[in-house]
Amino acid sequence: MRRLITTTLVAVLALSILAPPPAGASPKVLTGEESRYPHAIRLEHGSRRGAILVVLDRFQDVDVLRANRNGQRFRKISRFSDPEASHALCCGHLYELPRQVGDMPAGTVLWAGSVGLKSEGLKARIWRSRDAGETWEYLSECARAGKGGGLWEPDLSVDADGRLNCYFADETDPGHSQYIGRTVSEDGRNWSAKQKIVAVQPRAYRPGMSQVKRLPTGEYYMMYEICAQPNQYFCEAFHRTSPDGVHWGDPKWFGERPTTKDGKYFAHTPSIVLAPNGTSRGRVILMGQMLMSANGKVDPGNGRTVFVSENGGADGWYEAPAPVPVPGARDDNCPNYHPAGVASLDGASLIGFASDYVAEGVCHTSWATSGLPPFPG
């Protein structure tokens, strides 16, 4: 029997409602409890169409918050935990089905995360919500690491053939310290064997943190990092595209590295947001943990900057202010680790989420809104 988590049965979910900080105002803490690794989506189907959902990792369980279409307040609506996560849970992502998959209609919300112990082999497990995040039930396991290996950062996408794809970073292939893999499902329950999507050489290099978005044109866009390189470009962001979400090119290809005209780039935990800009292709917004200058040193804008690219990410990248400044961003699993965001409906602003230490060893996630530059074309 699937386990159903209902918010009315969880006493700890006393509603926490936050008024919106206006654009440029000081960020506000989302829950006041330990949390990190935010991920957010805007719902596009059902009675809650336009609402914003946010999930926060809490090591052994997940908090789910929801806001109205304008992001004017956030309310904690549920908390759930996978029974396999008694020792660890991390790296959770949200996804709303854009079309029916198996018996799941468009608008079904899915959460995918890494659970278990590395010594036993981590698993990428998927949970489902039929009511915009208020209740959750276990759906399936889309991938599993071998014993003693890690399997991280699962991300979901429906390809042009209508199949659900699960992307993940896998440490258990003998030819690669880590690679980005994929499994595919016709119904969300039964999954294919693993396929390599980004698997580069030398062996020590570690692609991971993949995130896939479908552009308004139907093209698919993937952002990811490649870590463990011996030069200044440690864990820097790369991207590639696919015409159908199936064919991504040669797995051995590193991809294209997003940089500004003066050579700035992001290192660690890239995350992308799509935003309208009045054109048919829209814009891609890139967020990352650390902003680096062209010389490989931490840039003065570190923790305060996002990148924007017009023409569906095909144009060059330019800087814009981050909604939640984290000037102490560094290689650590809290400060600005995996920042996330959702664009306003008109594309004029970015609602952003980022974590930072508020006291010794305590990590909290905050949110705020910042303006986006008008389309320069």
pLDDT, one tens digit per residue, over 231-267 is 888 899 999 999 999 999 999 999 999 999 999 999 9
219, pLDDT greater than 80: yes
What is the model's pLDDT at position 71? 78
In degrees, to the nearest 5, what angle opens at C-alpha 213 toward C-alphas 209 and 217?
155
pLDDT in tens, 47-72: 999 999 999 999 889 999 999 887 77
Contact (Cβ atoms closer than 8 angstroms) between residue 200 and residue 254: yes
13, pLDDT greater than 80: no
Per-residue pLDDT averaged across 303-328, rounded?
A: 95
Placement of tokens 């790296």 in the chain: 91
Per-residue pLDDT averaged across 85-93, rounded?
A: 85
What is the model's pLDDT at position 205? 97
* 1 — pLDDT class (breaks 50, 70, 90): very low
330, pLDDT greater than 90: yes
Q: Helix (H, G, I), strand (E, B), or coil: what is residue 312?
A: helix
Percent of the chain with pLDDT over 70: 93
Q: Helix (H, G, I), strand (E, B), or coil: what is residue 295?
A: coil
What is the model's pLDDT at position 367? 96
4, pLDDT greater than 50: no
Nearby residues of 198 by Cβ (< 8 Å), 6 or more positions away: 179, 180, 207, 210, 224, 226, 240, 248, 251, 255
* 119 — pLDDT class (breaks 50, 70, 90): confident
What is the model's pLDDT at position 350? 97
* 24 — pLDDT class (breaks 50, 70, 90): low
180, pLDDT greater than 80: yes
Mean per-residue pLDDT of the chain: 91
* Total Cβ atoms within 10 A of residue 18: 19
Per-residue pLDDT averaged across 286-290, rounded?
A: 98
From residue 262, give the alpha-carbon distance in Å to each of 150, 267, 317.
36, 16, 10
Number of H helices, E strands in the chain: 0, 27
Q: Are strands 349-359 and 340-343 parallel, antiparallel or unpaired?
A: antiparallel
Nearby residues of 121 by Cβ (< 8 Å), 6 or more positions away: 144, 145, 146, 147, 148, 149, 151, 172
The residue among 264, 271, 237, 283 whose CA lies nearest residue 355 is: 271
* 134 — pLDDT class (breaks 50, 70, 90): very high
What is the model's pLDDT at position 14? 34
Most confident of 16-25, 87-96, 124-133, 228-237: 124-133
pLDDT in tens, 97-108: 999 999 999 999
Per-residue pLDDT averaged across 310-332, rounded?
A: 95
342, pLDDT greater than 60: yes
Q: Which helix (H) or strand (E) holds 109?
A: strand 109-115
161, pLDDT greater than 60: yes
What is the model's pLDDT at position 21? 55
Q: Which residue has the higher pLDDT, 204 or 70?
A: 204
344, pLDDT greater than 80: yes
What is the model's pLDDT at position 142? 98
Percent of the chain with pLDDT over 90: 81
What is the model's pLDDT at position 376? 82
What is the model's pLDDT at position 12? 34
